[in-house]
Chain A
Amino acid sequence: MKHFYYTFLVLLSISSCQKNNNDYVKIPEKKVPKIVDYNFDVRPILSDKCFNCHGPDAKKRSADLRLDTSEGAYSKLKETPNKYAIVPNKPKESEVYNRIISKDTMQVMPPPDSHLSLSNYEKKIIKKWIEQGADYKTHWSFLPVSKPTLPNITSKNKINNEIDYFIIDKLNQLELEPNQKADKERLLKRVSFDITGLPPTIEMQNKFLTDTSPNAYEKIVEELLTSKHYGEKMASSWLDVARYADSHGYQDDDLRTMWPWRDWVIHAFNENYGYDKFVTWQLAGDLLPNKNLEALLATGFNRNNKINQEGGIIVEEFRIETLTDRTNTFGKAFLGLTLECAKCHDHKYDPISQKEYYSTFAFFEKTPYRAHAGGVAKTLAEKPFIDISSQLIKDSLPFLNKKSYENVKSMVMEERDEVRNTHLLERGAYDAKGEVVTHNLPKSILNFDKTKFSSNRLGMSKWLFDRQNPLTSRVYVNRIWQEFFGIGIVKTLGDFGMQGDLPTHVELLNWLSSDFIENGWNIKRLVKKIVTSATYKQATVISQEKMAIDPDNRYLSRMSRLRYSSEMIRDHVLASSGLLNTEIGGRSVKVYQPEGMWKATSSGRGLLSSYVQDHGSDLYKRGIYIFIKRTTLPPVQMFFDANTRDQCEVNRQSTMTPLQALIMLNDPTVLEAARVLSEKLVLKNSSPEKNIEIAFRKVLCRNIKPEEKTIFLDYYSKQEALFKSDPKRAEDFITIGEFPSKKDRDVIKVAALMQIIHTMYNMEETIIKS
């Protein structure tokens, strides 16, 4: 018996040393699970490494072998009869296994010139899966949404609502502890930015800090959700999805006026329209039985696509281009699928045939496009559009904020009365018309039952919001989740297909999705559910261990430290300095921008050939209202990873480049904010120390720490001395921005404090969800 005792000693030492040694933790041979699951362990491998040639795409299929269906995989091999790709329970007899472990370059799969290869782990998985019966299952995201029961958690103390059950459950498996609750100040900053995109005012800070009632936080959340700025925050990511812009795109890139549509989006979020209504109006508002102007305006969603105004385009080529854009947008925005992959050939990984692509395409067949070839100038909107007069606004679109005397035209949808058949286009080429197809939608998602759904865009939206549709709610919930936690439960927001990442918490996603549906697609409710979870309220501190085990924080054992979006950064700077113009909606504004950017790229034609900057309060509107010329994006947006608005995007990168530092250091917007705030504080002529404290609370939204204060005070005195010795320099420094400067300001003090505040704006924490 005592021999076994030795044995375990040794085994202990083996297992222990992998924890102790970090290098080893970082490169672990992933453990092969006891039960291999097709969806979660096997398909990702097959899909990534095999389906390209042995997948759904019939045209590209090699050796007439498909591995994405059991039928295909179990049947005799065409080329080497009496052999089988997969023999359940018998890896040695399965060619698949023999080929992937073969060392013979002529035999081995995937073939060398595909530049793909399987890792040891992947080989083991395949082997084990075959041993366990090579059992195929439907892709997880194509299964209808069902509400799972909450996992039972013994220690309820870390739990605030349903979300936490699922998170904690996973963390337990990983032997990770969730972080402590974040301190009130940071929590307030976080939630305020997440819901309104703006920093909490000092008053709000005081109120929250002093409110000791248990539901203090819930109160704040309620307050924020009712703010009119909630709509602006929610809209900014929707504009990416809708590829909204203020110009037509392509070379000539002339002016377009779609901003009334943008204002509707803000309105819709503030009114908390259900997601079903919100989307149905945008997809098919023109087809609603009871016509209403607002719904019609909403259909502008699918007129946001680029329009090529180049002289001598081939009309049909760009008609197809336009319709393709609408079809792809439908796939990406609502289904979270890479539908576009099926344009030129059957989808290589997902069960979507080229035919199905064009059957989806058929729903847009009669939607508007540019029907003439000549280059035209000053077409602010192409037909059909609503010509919005001040009267019309008063009567039926009160939420629009039009100032000019002229009417504003906003493009909308309308079925053209043309007789058109939809053809499958070979290789996706506009002039290679193939067989005729009729309205239909991918059946692997949900059968398009013509008795239930009408064969038009309205039916299309009905199909989207059918209780049985497995994707619509999952996709949207996942996107909202990502807005708050930085990474979706499914990381690839735009790909729920087989090549997409798998959900880290599939149960949680299912629970939230069905909960979302059951409550009438109520967005505000979903948001509230998320921000009131204990998971969301965690501190962001990162321990070495968590860094090593879960560097990307996929399992949320802490709150992620996320950098603000380009809009939030601008809004924070303006709001904290008191410059922000809080007016909702209206035409897009042209704020400070370096000389000559538009001129350099433009052909010299059109209304946007040179940049005419706005003045006065227009300079201080929120980031969401900044004028977007597609061919020359506003620099701040470009450098802070905003999207180009060329096509539907569901995600933004968050990268770090020196150009971002340069903007924060030298952009007049930031400098002006620092100046104006400094002037305000100096006028109160209280001590520098006091001023620094207040400024710090406005910018960092928390009380300054003593060690921080020492640094700032020291810096302040140095700066003050410097400027005293050279008042000219101080004068130069504070003449920035058009905002009228206070009379009889103390130049030296203002300059010195401005330098301090500007430094605060450049602190890492300032533009981070900490």
Chain B
Amino acid sequence: MKKIKSLVLNTLLFLHCLLAFMLLFETVVKIPFWVQPLGRMHPLILHFPVAFISLLVILNLLKKQLDAISFEKINLFLLFLTSLSTTIATLMGLLLSLEETGSELMILHKWIGISISFMIYGLVVFYKHKTFFKALLYLSFTSVIFAGHYGAGLTHGTNFITEPIISAYKPKQDLNSSVYNFFIQPILDKKCTSCHNDQKLKGNLNLSSLKAISEGGKNGPLWLAHQPEKSNFIERLNLPLEHKKHMPPNGKPQLTQKEIELIKVWIQQGVNDTISYHGLKKGDTLKNLITKKWLQKSKLKKTYNFSFASKESIDNLNSPFRNIKQEAPTSPAINVAIYGRSTFNTKSLTELSEIQEQITNLNLSKLPIQKKELEFVSTLKNLEKLVLNGSDIKSNDIKELAACTLLNSISLSNTNVDASILTTLEKLKNLKEVFVWNTSITPEEIAMLQKKLPNVNIIEGFVQDPNNELKLTPPILLSKGNIINTEDPILIGHKMKGVEIRYSLNKSAPDKNAPLLTKEIPLTLNGKNNRTIKTIAYKEGWKASKIQSFTFFSRGIVPSNFEVTYDGILSEYLGSASNILIDDYVLNHSRIDFSKYWAGFNKKPLIAIAEFEDNSTPIKEIVLSCGFKAHKAKKYPIKFAEIWTSNDKINWKLASKKTFQKLKVSKRKNISFKINSKDTHYIKIVVHATQGYTFFVNQVFFH
């Protein structure tokens, strides 16, 4: 006994030091995670001290009945047990309390608990002083009762014990009790009485009972019978949320439209505090309102009876090719979509077995899905929606799905399944919709399926109306540029596969019998400055396109060097005339304005010098493709244009000059100079704008 006694005393001292220490440094101390479980055993352990101390008390009450020695022994032993278990329980409690901020209740519980621990330690220490011992014992016992009660409050809610009694006092409400008691007071209790009750009378108003309400508040009566809009109550509710006088105050739970409406109507009907739902006449507005909006079961949101998959497994199963998402924090259902035909294999599916219970929505579009895969799918007992569009499934494989009894939607579009899937579909009792667009199932069969499965919506999808053919888009130019040398290959094609392009190079419009254009063809200009090719597109099941013609311009003689003294207005941003004038594009239809297609000149003239190293073929004609803002031009934008020729770039000879004053202004104009340029190496083009006007040049040709 001696040994035990000292051991116990030491342990007790140690434990209490620890206890004291932790109290002192409560805010600083970190509870390591491995200690937490201890803390959480508090609610378990605490039952021992409670039991022990009760025993101890009983024992001391029955002291007379026992012989002194054995009493002493038992008493001391029991006391040790009590004190040890108490301190341990307390310590654990303290650890636990560190995990949470103290609510009032908890703090109370905590301190009583601690004091008990010390009191009982006291019992051990002052064991010899009998009277003191007794007093302390009973004191601790009573504190235990309190501590216990508050403790229970923490885990079960404060009025856990008293609740049944309290609720028993509340009279049972039903549709025979007054509309006010059954519908309206509850609203007030929910949204108003926290600030307007017997204790707390904000605005001197109490909404806890009809009687109290009838007394009104500092702003007079709450509601006026038959005049909801004049009623203070409704007014306040309807004020904008930000408004100072709006009730309930911004930030507090607001009344719903449904609730406001009900109260309004009820006031409208004269604040009747006795009439019950059943009491109301048939067709009465209030009655209708209640039946419609309050009694009908609102579509309750789906709840699942299976548990949540762990975040870990969801994370682990997610991959770049497999997206796994829980439906929402409040829903354990999981949606799975798998992507990437090339990377897919059966394991991509079977790996999901650890979450097979949670999968409700599975998307396997465009994957090589076959029997083997569907066998796994059949193990997904909670599967509701399955998408197999464009996958490799066969009608036979579908049989596997019979096991997925909760399936309500299957998408089979773009697959080879046929009408034989009916046998499987019939087995799926929850089936609502099947998508069979672009499968081997014929319209007749669809009609048949629909008859066999009246509750299932079978979606056939888009059906092309055969006698309403669409017109093809015209052919397009695929080769680059519309300036060519004779015999240069040109390529005209179409974006749609399987289109036939027919063409003609003469006046006649191309038709079905016109020559076929399959690849690029060389275009002979036979001496002309330009040539036009007309094309049309045909395709089975489509109307022929409109005729599209393309004009190609002869590139003529290309200067070996081409420079301008001034690059044109805003050339820093729109590109230099030296490029624009000899690029390979002539624009047939584009807005004439400063742009990368048009070089513009006004104050400073266009002065371009073209060099021809090889002048064996003399240049007979020079063409400037010009454009003007014709609509607002009163004068002709070009004052004059000159062509100079030279052999040495120093001595220039005027070869041609044009003035335009008389001319009428058109949007576009090809200015042509006929010259005679025997053995000249340089040709200079000079164009001056009319004062206050701008002219644009798009291309220059030398023929």
Contacts and interface: CB of A to CB of B under 8 A. Distances in A.
B200 A80 contact: yes
A7 B200 contact: no
A518 interface: no
A80 B32 CA distance: 43
Contact of B251 (A13, A111, A120): A111
A394 interface: no
B28 A123 contact: no
Contacts of A120: 100-101
Given A53-B251, A106-B194, A29 B21 contact: no
Contacts of B202: 79-80
Contact of B14 (A6, A17, A29, A128): A6
B574 interface: yes
Interface string A3-44: 110110011011101100101100011011000000000000
B658 interface: no
B101 A3 contact: no
A587 B591 CA distance: 26
B219 to A, nearest CB: 15
Contacts of B596: 610, 612
Interface string B32-43: 111100000000
- Interface centre among B101, B103, B195, B200, by most chain A C-beta atoms within 10 angstroms, is B101
A625 B32 CA distance: 57
Contacts of A607: 570, 573-574, 594-595
A612 B574 contact: yes
A60 B101 contact: no
A351 B202 CA distance: 31
Nearest to A2: B10
A32 B575 CA distance: 67
A130 to B, nearest CB: 14
Interface in B193-211: 194-195, 200, 202
B295 to A, nearest CB: 27
B163 interface: no
A378 B594 contact: yes
- Interface centre among A31, A105, A106, A120, by most chain B C-beta atoms within 10 angstroms, is A106
Contacts of B27: 31-32, 124, 128
Contact of A123 (B21, B101, B575): B101
Contacts of B7: none
B284 interface: no
B32 to A, nearest CB: 4
B249 A18 contact: no
Contact of B30 (A15, A128, A404): A15
Contacts of B32: 13-14, 17-18, 21, 24
Contacts of A24: 32-33
Interface in A79-130: 79-80, 101, 103-107, 110-114, 120, 123-124, 128
B119 to A, nearest CB: 20
A62 B17 contact: no
A59 B242 CA distance: 9
A241 to B, nearest CB: 26
B486 to A, nearest CB: 29
Contacts of A32: 27-28
Contacts of A28: 30
A104 B21 CA distance: 33
Contact of A113 (B21, B200, B251, B594): B251
B18 A63 contact: no
B103 A101 contact: yes
A565 interface: no
A592 B249 CA distance: 59
Nearest to B250: A62
Contact of A106 (B10, B14, B252): B252
Contact of B34 (A17, A80, A113, A604): A17
B187 to A, nearest CB: 14
A4 B34 contact: no
A79 B101 CA distance: 28
A344 to B, nearest CB: 13
A713 to B, nearest CB: 33
A124 B17 contact: no
A300 B343 CA distance: 57
Given A3-B14, A18-B32, A612-B596, A587 B100 contact: no
Contact of B566 (A11, A111, A405): A405
A255 interface: yes
Interface string A584-608: 0001000000000000000010011
- Interface centre among B13, B18, B28, B251, by most chain A C-beta atoms within 10 angstroms, is B251
Interface string B562-598: 0000100111111100000000000000010011100
Interface residues of A, number: 53
Contacts of B103: 101, 103
Given A14-B29, A101-B103, A7 B574 contact: no
A111 B35 CA distance: 34
Contacts of A15: 30
Contacts of B14: 3, 6-7
Nearest to A627: B573
A7 B252 contact: no
Nearest to A92: B104
Interface in B537-579: 566, 569-575
Contact of B573 (A23, A123, A612): A612
B21 A111 contact: no
A609 interface: yes
B595 A609 contact: yes
A113 B250 CA distance: 10
A7 B14 CA distance: 7
Contacts of A103: 103
Contact of B253 (A10, A113, A406): A113
Nearest to A103: B103
A549 to B, nearest CB: 15
- Interface centre among A4, A110, A607, by most chain B C-beta atoms within 10 angstroms, is A607
Contacts of B604: 405
A11 B21 contact: yes
Contact of B28 (A31, A405, A609): A31
B253 A7 contact: no
Interface in A55-82: 59-60, 62-63, 79-80
Nearest to B597: A610
B145 interface: no
Given A3-B17, A14-B30, A111 B252 contact: yes
Contacts of A23: 33
A612 B194 CA distance: 70
Interface string B20-55: 010000011111111100000000000000000000
Nearest to B9: A3
A440 B417 CA distance: 78
Contacts of A604: 591
A106 B196 CA distance: 12
B579 to A, nearest CB: 9
A124 B28 CA distance: 11
A7 B30 contact: no
A7 B604 CA distance: 97
Interface in B227-262: 242, 249-253
Interface in B80-134: 100-104
B251 A62 contact: yes
A524 to B, nearest CB: 33
A18 B575 CA distance: 68
20 contacts: A3-B13, A10-B18, A14-B32, A17-B34, A21-B32, A29-B30, A53-B251, A62-B249, A80-B202, A101-B104, A103-B103, A105-B253, A120-B100, A255-B573, A403-B572, A405-B604, A604-B591, A610-B595, A612-B573, A612-B596
Given A10-B18, A18-B32, A80-B200, 8 more contacts: A3-B14, A7-B21, A15-B30, A17-B32, A21-B33, A31-B28, A32-B28, A406-B569
Interface of A: 3-4, 6-7, 10-11, 13-15, 17-18, 21, 23-24, 28-29, 31-32, 53, 59-60, 62-63, 79-80, 101, 103-107, 110-114, 120, 123-124, 128, 255, 378, 403-406, 587, 604, 607-610, 612
